Amino acid sequence: MRELQLDLPSGRGRRAAIETALRDAIRTGRLGGGTRLPSTRTLASDLGVSRSTVVAVYEQLGAEGFVIGRHGSGTEVATVAPVVGAEDDDLLEPSPTWDFRSGEPDASAFPRRDWLRAIRQVVSDPSDRALTYPDPRGHPEVRAALADHLARTRSVGTTAAGIFVTGGFAAGLGFVADALRRTGIDHIAVEEAMLPMHRMVLRLAGLEVTVVPVDEEGIAVHALADSSARAVLVTPANHYPYGITMTAGRRADLVAWADAADGWIIEDDYDGEFRYDRRPIGALQALAPNRVVYGGTASKTLGPGLRLGWLAVPKPLRQPLLAAVNLRAGVSVIDQLALADLIQSGRLDRHVREMRRRYGRRRRAVVEALGDTVPWFAPPAGLAGLHLCVPTPSLVLEEAILARAEAADVGLLGLCNFHRAPPHRAGVTIGFSRPPAHAFDAGLERVMAVFEAATADMAS
Amino acid sequence: MRELQLDLPSGRGRRAAIETALRDAIRTGRLGGGTRLPSTRTLASDLGVSRSTVVAVYEQLGAEGFVIGRHGSGTEVATVAPVVGAEDDDLLEPSPTWDFRSGEPDASAFPRRDWLRAIRQVVSDPSDRALTYPDPRGHPEVRAALADHLARTRSVGTTAAGIFVTGGFAAGLGFVADALRRTGIDHIAVEEAMLPMHRMVLRLAGLEVTVVPVDEEGIAVHALADSSARAVLVTPANHYPYGITMTAGRRADLVAWADAADGWIIEDDYDGEFRYDRRPIGALQALAPNRVVYGGTASKTLGPGLRLGWLAVPKPLRQPLLAAVNLRAGVSVIDQLALADLIQSGRLDRHVREMRRRYGRRRRAVVEALGDTVPWFAPPAGLAGLHLCVPTPSLVLEEAILARAEAADVGLLGLCNFHRAPPHRAGVTIGFSRPPAHAFDAGLERVMAVFEAATADMAS
């Protein structure tokens, strides 16, 4: 035992120190399985501690299975697999200094004071409603607040009974996919060039995924109808990443398809709150509350770190969805009630209005700068969302822009980063919402320099 | 249009009011599909508003798909499915006044001040690390804090790379089940008399579930070995609901089974922090970090409303688990970092120590009261966890106790509430952690009255 080199503190910590040293020695393999340990008397004397201390240590390690007391033959080390150290692989690449990748809001604008105030409100509530196992669909108060909020801001037609609170949209999508499978649907269609992560979530749930083209009015419903899919995932308010608002005619066609196919439409309303030329266009769900699963999220209005999302679900899907969600939704009830507080106090609306003002200004700045800088730029029709999709005259130019961006430490995504379907559209998205306010102007100058240099590359 | 009975406010809100009234009328079916709307001029005059207001309303409803502008023939109502109101069915039964159902800690003891302090700390941090899309496995800082914490408090051998943060244990279990299926395992064993919800989660993930008996030392490993299962879910620190601590010999047998079967052990360490007669016995994971998926949770130490749990995962399962989790874990990064703060500041340890003291006192009071009241009561060997499993001499007595409890508005669970396997054990669990402190003594008196009355029923 002397090789353990126990560095024992004096006084109270000695028992714990001996125990830890022995456990570590066994776990790392320094003391192999079958090794006979000294008798308690010997070890106590060696270490200068009382025998009862060593007895206690052997007893604890025995209960944990690290050592085995053999009747009449002392104590020996059990066979334990050693811990192997492993490097932590960092999944998230470091962010570029000038980050205009689409998909995130300005994190620095998170309403910290409002959120903290809401949490304090909830935690100080003398009732313990925020602290026990929750209704797996979400706290009833939050579901009621969301039903009202969605009716008011997105024209969604539902009641508290139709609302499910989830840990963000991707989590909700996974549960909906599970629920679809439980109702016998195993084939879903998606829009061309969608978020790769969402497709992965659908595949994970065991669904076959078919990609449907998108034209200037939205998803090509005739192509959808030609498939055997009985569900479709769409982004009607602002196609991601193309930035197309689905027209009223196409919305009607899509609902007619769902009725005819006895199918379901999943509406990913990821940034429907942000429309700059007019009031936001109501959700597709409003046209067919019995055919559309509406999905919204706090990721763009508050922040994705909160992992808060919600679904408005047609009645026939509620039971299957409940079975799929069960207790797995995993959304803190404190956070849920804080969200309800933000809604009911009007603070969420106020924050969204303020951010709409700021993002609208940023979007105008981007369009203006592109107009000034990029000869081939044509301003897009819609004025919505947190990113601008800039079509490029060629795939080569898209690649050139992305290469220039990387070299300049500017974060941009090209349509190559999404599931682009042939015939290939080329383009680059500018996520103007992402940089913190203080870095926006300087960042935009760098983005323009990237576009300019890449355009010059082509000309030369 | 007069039948719409528009109650219009004067001034600014009029456009919104007209739009809402029209949308609601269409949505509820009062204005059916194909109905021709008045011209903008007529309606404006009828309502006493400017024509541009009505044009804006029609335009907005047109973009949303509620009305269709026909060239040369005005505007008509689109065919829209009506919203059907639905009653919200309350899933959660009202709690009994004297609630001793096992499974929850005392919600009133949630460390509100500590939690709020931690949230304030995180939200006030000028870096935005809590506010962007997270690493799906959990924030690196939290994973490192948990790896240290689990090594110190539960002897778990892992590194930050092995930790996954999930929205409670059930969510983690669901993801682990998905991951097992991805590695080709489709059959899992569980302990007799387990939590029904966990079995449902496993089935949901598509796993075949086999129930294995439990004896006085823990799960019957020979029966497990006879099955074709290559994974098993166990509660070694404190079998739920029987309250048996798995012996060192049985732990060694179980690990040997996993090695021989090339299988996985999932350790549900739901209340391992609570041991009253000795220091907590280390996790089974410590014996075989390469064979055990360790699962812990804040549900018993802080509160289930937080929906915070964690897994320590052997290296070969990390990739499949990452694929299963993806962004679906849905745990607020703010909450994750608050947990890290509680761990690093020592506040979590302090809270657990304090609760261990309080629950230990409660447990002694329950054992003493049972000894005084119930002639057939034999005190259990172990002193762990947040509930006491009281075996009854017969199934009939178990039923009688539950019937008496219900009549007295006392919450108790019997082994009939779990998946009891034949030969049937009979018994009742007393979840002494659940009542708030001020209601404990009075509640315990009522529990004893229930036991006494049921015992008398049997004698008569």
* pLDDT tens digits in sequence order for chain A, 460 residues long: 444 555 565 556 788 888 888 888 887 777 878 888 888 888 888 888 888 888 888 988 888 888 888 777 788 888 776 654 445 566 677 889 999 999 999 999 999 999 999 999 999 987 888 888 888 999 999 999 999 999 989 999 999 999 999 999 999 999 999 999 989 999 999 999 989 889 989 998 889 999 999 999 999 999 999 999 999 999 999 999 999 999 999 999 999 999 999 999 999 999 999 998 877 888 999 999 999 999 999 999 999 999 999 999 999 999 999 988 876 778 999 999 999 999 999 999 999 999 999 999 999 999 999 999 999 999 887 788 999 999 999 999 999 999 999 999 999 999 989 877 666 789 999 999 999 999 999 999 999 999 999 999 988 7
Could you tell me which of B307, B297, B383 has the C-alpha nearest to residue B348?
A: B297
- B180-189 mean pLDDT: 95
Chain A residue with minimum CA distance to B434: A132
Token representation of residue B328: 């679906």
Instruction: Report the alpha-carbon distance of residue A48 to residue A415 in Å, rounded.
Output: 71
Integer CA distances (angstroms), A155 to B17, B99, B233, B352, in order: 13, 42, 46, 47
Cross-strand bridge partners of residue B208: B187
CA-CA distances (angstroms) from residue A351 to A2, A302, A306, A308, A385? Answer: 65, 8, 16, 16, 16
Distance CA B8, CA B290 (A): 70
d(CA A102, CA B387): 50
Predicted pLDDT at A246: 96
Please indicate whether, in this complex, the C-beta atoms of B329 and A332 are within 8 angstroms of each other.
no
**Is A248's CB within 8 Å of B62's CB?**
yes
Q: Are B385 and B414 in contact (CB under 8 A)?
A: no
What are the tens digits of pLDDT across the range B241-255? 999 999 999 999 999
Task: Show the beta-strand stretches assigned E in B22-96.
Answer: 67-69, 75-77
Identify which of B65, B78, B116 has the shortest CB distance to residue A120: B116
What are the tens digits of pLDDT across the range A54-88? 888 898 888 888 888 877 778 888 877 665 444 55
A143 interaction partners in chain B (CB closer than 8 Å)? 88
List alpha helices for A69-194, DSSP H. Answer: 112-124, 140-154, 169-182
Q: Which chain A residues are within 8 Å of B81, Cβ to Cβ?
A: 255, 287-291
What integer is the mean pLDDT of B227-244? 95
Question: B421 to chain A, minimum CA–CA distance in Å?
Answer: 24
Nearest chain B residue to A249 by CA: give it.
B65
Q: Read off the pLDDT of each residue in B164-191 and give the average, rounded to a whole number.
A: 95
A331 to chain B: which residues are within 8 Å by CB? 167, 307, 330
pLDDT of B218 higher than 60 = yes
Q: Is residue B394 a contact partner of residue B428, using CB atoms and an 8 Å limit? A: no
Q: Which of B114, B264, B327, B434 to mutate to test the interface with A (most CBs of A within 10 A)?
A: B327
Does the beta-carbon distance from A63 to B248 stay under 8 Å?
yes
Mean pLDDT of B176-204: 93
Contact A132 B248 (CB under 8 A): no
Rounded Cα distance between A166 and A157, Å, is: 19
User: Who has greater pLDDT, B186 or B327?
Assistant: B186
Residue whose C-alpha is closest to residue A295's, from A375, A179, A192, A206: A179
**With an 8 Å Cβ cutoff, are B287 and A134 in contact?**
no
**More confident site: B2 or B392:** B392
Name the minimum distance, in Å, from the CA of A375 to any CA of chain B: 32
Query: Lowest mean pLDDT: which of A443-452, B82-91, B417-426?
Result: B82-91
Verify whether the Cβ–Cβ distance B303 to A131 is below 8 Å.
yes
Give the range among A3-12, B25-34, B49-58, B443-452 with minimum mean pLDDT.
A3-12
Q: Determine whether the interchain pair B81/A170 forms a contact, defined as Cβ–Cβ distance below 8 Å.
A: no
Answer whether A73's CB lies under 8 Å from B116's CB.
no
Q: Say which DSSP state A446 is in.
A: H
Q: Do the chains contact at A327 and B197, CB–CB below 8 Å?
A: yes
Cβ atoms of A29 and A22 within 8 Å: the answer is no
Name the strands in the sheet holding B388-391, side by side, starting at the edge strand that comes first in the sequence: B388-391, B427-430, B413-414
SS3 B361: helix
Q: Which of B63, B167, B305 sits opposite A329 (nearest CB)?
A: B167
Q: What tokens appear for B403 in the block?
A: 């019937």
pLDDT at A132 (0 to 100): 86
Residue owning tokens 């993806």: B326
Query: Could you tell me which of A205, A202, A206, A193 has the C-alpha nearest to residue A232?
Result: A202
Residue B326, phi-psi category: left (phi > 0), alpha (psi -120 to 50), beta (remainder): left
The residue of chain A nearest to residue B93, with distances taken between CA atoms, is A135
B66, B112, B159: residue with CB nearest A124? B112
Q: Is the predicted pLDDT of residue B88 greater than 60, yes or no?
A: no
Phi, psi of B268 (to 5 degrees): -90, 95
The model's confidence at residue B8, banded by pLDDT at 50, 70 and 90, is low
Residue B75 in contact with residue A258, Cβ under 8 Å? no
**Yes or no, beta carbons of A27 and B200 under 8 Å apart:** no
Residue B418 has pLDDT above 80, yes or no: yes
Mean pLDDT over B219-238 rounds to: 97
* Predicted local distance difference test score (pLDDT) of residue B80: 74
> Who wins on pLDDT, A108 or B70?
A108
Are A167 and B334 within 8 A, CB to CB? no
Q: Do A44 and A8 meet the contact criterion of CB atoms below 8 Å apart?
A: no
Which of A318, A327, A337 to mutate: most B Cβ within 10 Å? A327
- The encoded tokens of residue B437 equal 């402190």
Q: What's the pLDDT band for B163 if we cut at 50, 70, 90?
A: very high
- Record the pTM: 0.85
Q: Which of B194, B175, B177 has the alpha carbon at shortest distance from B186?
A: B177
Q: State residue B427's pLDDT score.
A: 94
pLDDT for the residue A71? 73
Q: Where are the beta strands (DSSP E) in B122-199?
A: 163-166, 187-191
What was the pLDDT predicted at A2?
40
The CA distance from A108 to A115, in Å, is 13
pLDDT at B224: 97
Record: contact A286-B66, CB cut-off 8 A: yes
pLDDT given for residue B422 in this prediction: 66
Contact A434, A444 (CB under 8 A): no
The better pLDDT of the pair A41, B382 is held by: A41
Q: Are A235 and A200 in contact (CB under 8 A)?
A: no
* β-pair partners for B165: B310
CA distance A210 to A233: 10
Provide the CA B161 distance to its chain's centre, in angstroms: 25
B241 preceded by a cis bond (ω within 30 of 0): yes
If phi over 0 gives left and psi between -120 and 50 gives alpha, with beta otherwise, what is residue A264?
A: beta
Return left, alpha or beta for A34; rule: phi > 0 is left, psi -120 to 50 is alpha, else beta: left
Please give the Cα distance from A188 to A199 (Å, whole number).
Answer: 10
Inter-chain touch B115–A123, beta carbons under 8 Å: yes
Q: Over pLDDT 70: what percentage of chain B?
A: 94
Q: Which amino acid is at A225?
A: A
| Mean pLDDT (whole number) for B291-319 | 96
* Mutate: best of B114, B121, B133, partner A, most A CBs <10 A: B133
pLDDT tier for residue B423 given thresholds of 50, 70 and 90: low
Strand partners, A36: A76
